[in-house]
A = this chain, B = another copy of it.
Amino acid sequence: MSPSQVLDGANRQVFLGTFVHSKSRAELEYMHDTAVYVDEHGVIAKVQKSGSDTVGETLKDLGWDAASVERHVSTEGQFFFPGLIDTHVHASQYPNVGIFGKTTLLDWLEKYTFPLESSLKDLNKARRVYSACVRRTLAHGTTTAAYYATTDVAATNLLADLCLKMGQRAFVGRVSMDNPDLCPDYYRDESAQASAELTEQTIQHIQKADPDYEIVSPIVTPRFAPSCTSEAMHHLSALQRKHDLPLQTHVSENKGEIALVASMFPDSTSYADVYDRHGLLTPRTILAHAVHLTDAEADVVAARGAKVSHCACSNSSLTSGAARVRWLWGKGIEVGLGTDMSGGYSSSVLEAARQAALVSRHVAMGEEGGDGHKLTVDEVLYLATKGGAICVGLEDKIGGFEEGKHWDAQLIGMRTVGSGEGEDGEGEGESEDSNVDLFGWEDWEERMAKWLYGGDDRNTKKVWVKGRLVHSRWGSDRQTK
C-alpha cells in the first residue's frame, strides 16, 4: 500500500444528516439536516448547518464534480459523532483485559503485566495481539490511541505498521524501563543509554513509514518513575526535545507507588516533582491517572502545560483511587480519557466515559456537599473527544466537526423496538443487533444518554480516520479494513 492510499481518503465525500459534537466542556451541539464536505485529503472543507437541501449548489461553489463525490447519510435516529480518543492504552496488554484479580498496581505489574508484555518479543504473538487490539478498538470507534507497546523495538515497530495499515491514528511508544530495582531481569532495558537508543530506533522507523506523522507518530515513553533510572529520564527528556515529540508516562496512580517514588527519589518534593526535575513535564506530556496529586503537584503540572489522562475504569478496578476531574479542570489542567487496558477491563472509550461519570459520583459521595464533582453526559463525551484531542496535542485536527479539521468520525445507530404486538413482539428495527433499545419518544439528549450508558460497538456502524473508512458494520456484516 502506498503512503497516499493510507493517508488520503481518495474521494471527496459529503456527509448528510445529524451531527453531534462538543460545543464546550459543558454542552453538546446538535446539528440537524446538516452537510459536511470532506475533501480528498480527509479534511473538512465546509460545514453547512441546515444545509442538507443545498448540496448541489455548495458542490458547485466548492468546484467539486458532483458525480464523483461520495454521499453518506445518517438515517432516522442515527448521527455522526467525532471519533473517540484513547489517551492512555497499553496495546500489549489487550489479552489481559478483565484479568486482574484482587491485585493493586505493583503486584498487578509483577503477576500479570510484565510476563505478558515480555512475551511479545515473539513477533507472531505480537502480530496476533496487536492486530486484535487495533481491530477491536477501531470497532469501538477509537480513531486515535496513545499506545504503550513493550520494550521490544521490533514489536513496537510492528504496532506502528499495523496502525498505519489499518488506518488508526496512533501515538506508538516503546516502553522505556531500565531500573533493576523494579523491573524484572527478564523484562528491562540493559541501561539508561539503551533506553534512549532503542527508543530512537522506533522513532526512526516511524519517521520513515509516515514522515509527517499524518497517521502514526512516535511518543517518548518512560514507563513511570519507579521503573526508570534518573539517567534514563534525562536521556528521554533530551530525546523529546531533540525531536519535539509527545511524551507519556504515569503519575500518582496508587498510594504504594507514591511511597515507593518518595523512597527512590528522596531529593524530590513529590512524584510530579521527580518528572519536573527531569524535564519531563512539558506541554506535550500526557500524565496517566493523577489520582492522588497534591495541590502543589497540580499547580506544577498546570504551570508546565502537561495534560492528564483520566483512567476511571482502571482506577476502580485496581483499587487505585478516584481522580477528581473537575478539580483538575479547576487547576487549569486539560483532561482526556484513557481506557488504560488492561488496568481497565475494557478497550472501549465509551466505557471509559461511562466509568468517568460513575467515578465522579463516587468522588461526590466521598465529600460532604460534593455534588459539584459529578460529571454530566455532555462532559464525559467532551472528555472522550475534544478533551482527548487537546491531551494528545491534536486539537487543531480532531475532536469535532469544524472546518479545517480532519474527518475522524463515526456513524452511530440504535434500533427502535417494535410495537410488541406480534407473536414475539419483535419490530422491524430489531433485526439489527443493539444493546440499546429506543422507543422513539426520546429527545436527542436522552438518546445520547442511552448511547453513553448502554451503547457498545454494535452501535458504531462506520468509522473513518482522515476521511478513510477504517471499520464498518451493517447488521451482522462486521468488517475492519
Whether the pair A433, B322 counts as a contact (CB closer than 8 A) is: no
Within 8 A of B (CB), among A302-349: 316-317, 319, 321-322, 345-346
Across the two chains, which residue of chain B brings its CB closest to A371? B319
- Asked whether A319 and B364 contact (CB < 8 A) given A132-B420, A132-B437, the answer is yes
- The reply to whether the CB of A51 lies closer than 8 angstroms to some CB of chain B is no
Across the two chains, which residue of chain B brings its CB closest to A102? B374
Across the two chains, which residue of chain B brings its CB closest to A480? B424
Contacts of A127 in B (CB 8 A): 419-421, 425
A158-178 vs B, Cβ < 8 Å mask (1 yes, 0 no)? 000000001000000000000
Report the Cα distance A316→B375, complex, angstroms.
Answer: 12
- The reply to whether the CB of A456 lies closer than 8 angstroms to some CB of chain B is yes
Report the Cα distance A317→B99, complex, angstroms.
Answer: 25
Whether the pair A98, B454 counts as a contact (CB closer than 8 A) is: yes
Within 8 A of B (CB), among A330-385: 345-346, 354, 358, 361-362, 364-366, 371, 374, 376-377
Across the two chains, which residue of chain B brings its CB closest to A345? B453
- The reply to whether the CB of A10 lies closer than 8 angstroms to some CB of chain B is no
- The reply to whether the CB of A105 lies closer than 8 angstroms to some CB of chain B is no
Question: How near does chain B come to A161, taking the closest CB pair, in angstroms?
Answer: 12
- Asked whether A316 and B433 contact (CB < 8 A) given A128-B417, A128-B439, A424-B480, the answer is no
Report the Cα distance A65→B424, complex, angstroms.
Answer: 33
Whether the pair A316, B437 counts as a contact (CB closer than 8 A) is: no
Contacts of A453 in B (CB 8 A): 97-98, 317, 345-346
- The reply to whether the CB of A266 lies closer than 8 angstroms to some CB of chain B is no
Whether the pair B321, A365 counts as a contact (CB closer than 8 A) is: yes
Whether the pair A132, B346 counts as a contact (CB closer than 8 A) is: no
- The reply to whether the CB of A95 lies closer than 8 angstroms to some CB of chain B is yes
Report the Cα distance A481→B128, complex, angstroms.
Answer: 38
Contacts of A101 in B (CB 8 A): 376-377, 449
Within 8 A of B (CB), among A430-469: 433, 435-437, 439, 441-442, 446, 449-454, 456-458
Contact among B130, B366, B450, B481 with A97 in the assembled complex (CB-CB below 8 Å): B450
Whether the pair A450, B99 counts as a contact (CB closer than 8 A) is: yes
Question: How near does chain B come to A76, taking the closest CB pair, in angstroms?
Answer: 18
Across the two chains, which residue of chain B brings its CB closest to A481? B424
Within 8 A of B (CB), among A96-126: 97-102, 124
Number of copies of this chain that the complex holds: 2
Report the Cα distance A157→B453, complex, angstroms.
Answer: 30
Question: How near does chain B come to A262, taking the closest CB pair, in angstroms?
Answer: 19
- The reply to whether the CB of A4 lies closer than 8 angstroms to some CB of chain B is no
Contacts of A417 in B (CB 8 A): 128, 132
- Asked whether A99 and B321 contact (CB < 8 A) given A417-B128, A476-B475, the answer is no
Whether the pair B131, A425 counts as a contact (CB closer than 8 A) is: yes
Contacts of A419 in B (CB 8 A): 124, 127-128
Contacts of A130 in B (CB 8 A): 420
Report the Cα distance A376→B99, complex, angstroms.
Answer: 11
Contact among B102, B377, B451, B457 with A376 in the assembled complex (CB-CB below 8 Å): B102
Contact among B362, B371, B441 with A362 in the assembled complex (CB-CB below 8 Å): B362
Question: How near does chain B come to A246, taking the closest CB pair, in angstroms?
Answer: 27
- Asked whether A132 and B425 contact (CB < 8 A) given A453-B346, A476-B475, the answer is yes
A281-320 vs B, Cβ < 8 Å mask (1 yes, 0 no)? 0000000000000000000000000000000000011010
Q: Which of A99, A420, A436, A453 has the most CB of B within 10 A?
A: A420
Report the Cα distance A364→B102, complex, angstroms.
Answer: 11
A126-140 vs B, Cβ < 8 Å mask (1 yes, 0 no)? 011111100110000
Contacts of A23 in B (CB 8 A): none
Given contacts A94-B437, A124-B421, A424-B480, 4 further A-B contacts (CB under 8 A): A98-B450, A128-B418, A132-B420, A424-B481
Return the 7 tightest CB-CB contacts between A and B, nearest first: A476-B476, A98-B453, A131-B425, A131-B420, A128-B420, A345-B453, A98-B450
A residues near B, CB below 8 A? 94-95, 97-102, 124, 127-132, 135-136, 166, 316-317, 319, 321-322, 345-346, 354, 358, 361-362, 364-366, 371, 374, 376-377, 417-421, 424-426, 433, 435-437, 439, 441-442, 446, 449-454, 456-458, 475-476, 478, 480-481
- 6 CB < 8 A contacts A-B: A95-B437, A97-B453, A98-B450, A99-B449, A124-B419, A476-B476
